Structures are given as structure tokens and as C-alpha cells.
Amino acid sequence: MKKFLPITSCAKHLLPSFHPNKAPKYLASLCYPNENPSRESSYWKHVLSRLLQEQKIKEAREVFAKIEYPDVHLFTMMIKGLSKSNCFADAFKLFDNMPVRDVAAWNSILKAYLDSGDLNSALELFHEMPERNVISSTTMINGLAQFGRIDAAERLFLRMPQRDTASWNAMISGYLINGEIVKARKTFEQMPSRNVISWTAIIGGYEQNGLSKEALELFKRMWHLGIKPTSSTYACSLTACAKISNLMSGTQIHAQLIKSSHSLDSYVTTSLLTLYAKCQKMDLSISLFNESSHKTVVTWTALITGYNENNKYAEALNEFTEMVSSGMKPNQSTFTSVLNSCSGLEALDCGKRIHATTVKISLDLDAFVGNSLVVMYSKCGNINESLMAFENICERNLVSWNSVIVGCAQNGYASLAFKLFDEMNQCLVQPDAITYVGLLMACSHVRMHEKGRYYFEMLKRDPSVEIRMEHYACMVDILGRCGKLGEAEQFIRNMPLRPNVAVWLALLGACRVHGNVEVAEKASKEIFNLDLHNSSAYVLLSNIYATAGRWNDVVQTRVVMRDHRVDKVIGCSWITIRDVKHEFVSGDRSHPMIPEIYKNLEWLGTRLMEYGYVYDKRSALHDVDDEQKEALLTYHSEKIALAFGLLSTVEGSTIRIMKNLRQNNKIMSFHYSNKSLMSSSYPRELT
């Protein structure tokens, strides 16, 4: 007797090469010669399932339209597929046209309303349901929690006549999403039985709420109970390790992964890449990435972000180029990360090219990408482009406002920062601690101590913002820059918090500007009590002594540095030309163009002196003769970078020089107070 395969088996064999017009006819003739296959629900279930899994909505619609008598299961499947593809209006219409509905159909449309963001309609439908089961209530609990209605979710959970593990998990996740850590843990401990989803929810929730150490303790407890982790569990645990730079626990979890032969999917790989990068183990991140057989946009972005974490911005840009060359399409997170790379390098030209790419795909309007553009342009000193990027953001958030305010402050546009803050208030955006840092920084740059007091008092009256050490340091910097050293010292003494090194360094820096040895010695003493190896404090104090002509104290300071093995941070300046960073130190002779640079610098110095420029030898803080002082000032790192920039850029272009240390005002004046002298030979803008 001839044997026929079951129709479901036929469908499975045919589906890989499925064509919606051919499959029904073929299967009908093969398996149901005397029957209408449209009545065979199992067959259509396999066909629709395959199409909907592949999100082939158009083909699924065509197939569904051919079914003469679709049953409730096929309707429900189609509703779920349409909802998953965000075709909510079609899903609602299909539900309305159903001749018969069961509880599964009601549950599917309930979830569709929640996924579409319509909580009110979902609540109305939930109360109208002729029959509800555990899944109905669990779905509603998830929805209420997502919308921040955690109290309503809790009431519904407590009223449930029966609860399964999924409903307990939903309540725990709801608490965690809304920051109710204590209630989440209490509910977790009260569960009659827990599955791996329960453990993953609590571990992930703790990690996302900043309790990474506790998350790892839960993971260890789960492991000792013999519960096998999933990829999500591993990913959450590794992310927790990364956030607290716990390399030991991270490597132990990695070893468990290898020992259990668990597949390294993109989520686990991404978490491992992030962990090793956070722990300054970029070599391990790179090896892991290279060994990965399935490189996704997520893993590639994680590697780029890892390079940024380790200040390897050039390598990050190279990786981005390789990613694009491979055909991988960057996403929002990729562009955000690579723009941060441009910020780190101050690579304006590269940043502009990436900006142009985001414009083509309208990602520049996105808040995350837009915020990164604002920061990138302000870091590169191009405040006009930064403002334009800010204006283009469709939905500005607090980070958007903070980015543009801080950017204006850092570039000396204090009035603009104040104006933007007023606009921010008009838009009813609540400032945070970073906002006030930006405002105080702006006041410091333009020496507006009264305005600084005004914003500091505003901060003190704002109940939503906690005053941080950075705010006190900014206020000390404002008073110090304005020459009010005694008032700045008294301000520190009256602080409710114990001043840290940054606060005292702000005062010491002001003493350097105003030549106040007495206050400088007090400030440096406080710094050394907190950090005996702070090189910046030793250098500042030494320079203050040198300016005052107290060379014995300079020598003594250097002896103390040597005895405590304190290494001075070498000052350097750099300029980025065609995406290549060129870095210089004082008296640098390592650059291949150094003969041309020095020749140009000497010629430039001669020209400036012809126009009446005289070196301020007080800037050379060394016990050497005047001729040596002049040479030191001539070959300062910033001036070498300037000379190289003049040689390497076209006429009319802007020269942007960056420094790793806060330079003294006299060296800065070479660039900014002599633009008119420069323009006679080199028409350039200097920033």
C-alpha cells in the first residue's frame, strides 16, 4: 500500500523553496487529492509560521487571503505576526473581523495594544475580556510595569487567583524596571519555584540598577544550586563584571562558558568584549573578536567602544572603516561610538565625513547621535557647527542641553551658555548636576564671580540636585581667577564636605596666576596630605617658587619629588592633519619634518619681533640665563605644533592646537594676542 507523508511533514520539506502560489497546489495534489487543503489548519499553520518568522508580511497576507475558512488559531497567529512587524492597525482590524475568538486571541490583541503604546485601550480591553487566564493577567502586569504603573501592576498580581512562574517573573521584572529593588528581591525570595528566567531577571535587574556586586553574588548562588545559565544570564553577569571592572569574576565566568561548551552568541561575545576593554585588556578583546565566527553590528560596535575606553581612538576609527568595508551597516550606537572617537582625536574632518553619512540616513536627527555630534564639534572648537547639530535634534533630552551648554562653556562662549540655559528652563527641562558644572565653568572662563555666585545659590536652592565636589571646585576656580584668593580659601574651609584634591588644585592654580606664595603653600600642604604623589601640585608649587625667584625652594621641591618618585607629566601639544594626530613636546626633534618646522618657527619668531613682539621671559620658569629662556619659549610644544600646522594646511584654513595640560596665560598670548601680527604672513584662524 502506498504511504503518504503527513501533510505537516510535506509542508516542512517544501517550505525552504516555498512559493505561495505553487505550494498549495502541489500539496493538494500530493496529499489531499479529494479534499480542499484550505480546510487543513495544520498545513496553513506551518506555511504562515515560516513566513511570519522571516517577517515576510506581504507573502503572509497573500497566503492568509487564500484560506477559505481560517480558524481561530490562524487568526491569532496572523495577529501576532502583524503586531511583531508593527502593523498594529491591521492587527486590530483583523481581530475585529474574527467570527469566533478564544482567550488566546484576546491575549494576542491585548499584547498588541500594549506594544503599540496604547495603555488605556489595553486596560479597557482587559476589563471587557469574556474570559481571562494567567497569561492575560501576566501580559497586563508586564504592560502596566512598562508604563510605570507599578502600583496597579502590584494590585493585579495580588488579586490573581492563580499564579504561575511567568506571572511571578513579570512582577519581579516590573519592580526592577521601576527601581523597586527591595520589593523585587522580596518577591523573588517568596517564589514557590524559580526557573532560569527568574534568576536572569533578578541578576539583570540588579546590574541595571547599579548593584553589580550583588548581581554577581546572585549568579554564584544560582550556579551553586545547579541551575544552568542561558546566554542572557551569562551576558547580564559579564556586564556586571564590566561595570565594576571585576576581571577575576569575569574570567571565571568565561571559563565556565568554555567548560560547558556554551555557544558564544553575539550577546555573550559583546559582554566579553566590553568586560576585557573595561579592564584594560584590549588584546583579549581583539583576540576574542577575531575568533568570533559571527561578527554582528553589535559586536563590532562593542570593539570600537572598547578602543575608545582605552583612549585608542585612531584604532577605533580604523576598525570602523574596516567594518563599513566589510559591508556591515552601522547603527545608531556605532555612529555614537565612532563620533566619540573623533572627539578623542579632535579629528574634525573625519567627524564631518561621518556627520555627512548620518545626514544621508537621517540619523543626525536622533538624540543619541545628535548629542555625540554636539560634543564632537565643541571638542574640536567649532561651536557654530555644534549649535547647528543641536538645533537639528528632533527630540532634545537633558543630555542634549548639557552637551551644548558645557561645549559653549569650554570654548569661552559664556553668554551663549547662559542664554541656552534660559531656553532650557523655558522648555521645562529640569537641570542636573552636569548642567550647573557647565554654567559655573562658563563663569570661570570669563571671570564672572557675581554670576558664578548667582548660579551656585540657584544650585543650593534646587532640591532635585545634590551639590557635588565638582561644583565646589568650579566655585573656587571662579574666585581664584578673579584674584579673590582669601575668599576662595575661606570658601573651602566652610565647605560641608571634606575638600578633595581637585578643590585644592583649583586654589593652587589660582595662586600660580596671581603669584601668591603664602596661599599656595597652604593649598599644596592640603593636597600632599591627601595625595603625596600628585605631580601637578609639585609642578605648580615649583613654578610659583620660580616666579617669585625662590630658587632654593624650587630645588627643594624637586628633591622631594625625586625622593617620593613622583614623575612629572610631560606637557605636549598636538594637531590633527588629515585624520593623523601629530604630537609634540617642548624641544621635540622626533618628527620627520622637524628641520622644516624649526626653520619656519625661527623665521616666524623673527617676523614677530620685527613687529615689536618681545618674549615674556617670566614664562620660562627655570633658573637659566635669558638666552636659554628665549630658546625654551621659542621651541615650546604649542609653538612647534603651530609651525607644523602652518606648513601643513592651506591658506585661510583654521589651525586647531590641543594641549594635555592647562597652559599658562603668557604662552597662550603668543597665539591669541598676536593674530594681527600672524595675519601679515599667514592668514589663518587659531583656536
**For the segment 9-61, what is each residue's pLDDT rounded down to a tens digit?**
434 443 444 444 444 443 433 333 444 444 456 777 778 778 877 778 888 88
Q: What is the DSSP string of 65-125?
A: HH-SS--HHHHHHHHHHHHHTT-HHHHHHHHHT-SS--HHHHHHHHHHHHHTT-HHHHHHH
Q: Does residue 249 register a pLDDT over 90? A: yes
The C-alpha cell of 166 is what? 511567568
Output the pLDDT for position 34.
43
* 469 pLDDT more than 70: yes
* β-pair type (580-585, 572-577): antiparallel
Give mean pLDDT, residues 623-650. Answer: 68
Q: Which of 362-366, 416-420, 543-547, 604-608 has the lowest mean pLDDT?
A: 604-608
Higher pLDDT, 425 or 683: 425
Look at residue 385 in the predicted model and tell me its pLDDT.
96
- Does residue 670 register a pLDDT over 50? no
**pLDDT at position 51:** 82
Q: Is the pLDDT of residue 88 over 80?
A: yes
Please state, in angstroms and rounded to a whole number, the distance separating the CA atoms of residues 637 and 453: 36
pLDDT of 683 > 70? The answer is no
* C-alpha–C-alpha distance, residues 367 and 93, integer Å: 34
User: Does the reported pTM lie above 0.85?
Assistant: no
**Overall CATH class of domain 468-563:** mainly alpha
Q: What is the pLDDT of residue 283?
A: 95
What is the model's pLDDT at position 509?
93
Residue 281 or residue 588, greater confidence: 281
Q: CA 19 to CA 56: how far, in whole Å? A: 12
Segment of 4-18, 50-64, 293-307, 638-652 carrying the highest mean pLDDT: 293-307
Answer yes or no: is pLDDT of 640 > 90.
no
| % of the chain with per-residue pLDDT over 70 | 86
Mean pLDDT of 76-93: 87
Angle between helices 469-481 and 433-445 (to 10 degrees): 10
Contact (CB, 8 A) for 233 and 196: yes
Q: Kindly state the cell numbers that stand for 470.
A: 565638582
| List of E strands, 569-638 | 572-577, 580-585
**pLDDT one-digit tens code per residue, 545-554:** 998 999 999 9
Regarding predicted confidence, which is higher, 33 or 221? 221
More confident residue, 331 or 659: 331
User: pLDDT tens digit string along 373-408?
Assistant: 999 999 988 999 999 999 999 999 999 999 999 999
pLDDT band per the 50, 70, 90 thresholds, residue 645? confident
- Say whether pLDDT at 120 is over 90: yes
Q: Where are the domains of the chain?
A: 468-563, 577-686
pLDDT of residue 672: 36
Query: CB-based contacts of 238: which residues, under 8 Å, 6+ apart?
Result: 250, 253, 254, 268, 271, 272, 274, 275
Q: Which of 148-152, 255-259, 271-275, 572-576 has the lowest mean pLDDT?
A: 572-576
In this predicted structure, which of 88-102, 294-308, 332-346, 442-456 has the lowest mean pLDDT? 88-102
- Residues, the chain: 687
pLDDT, tens digit, for every residue of 308-362?
A: 999 999 999 999 999 999 999 999 999 999 999 999 988 888 999 999 999 999 8
Note the pLDDT of residue 649: 82
For range 603-608, the mean pLDDT: 75
Give pLDDT tens digits for 584-595: 887 778 888 888
- What pLDDT does 617 receive? 52
In single-letter form, the type of residue at position 645 comes to G
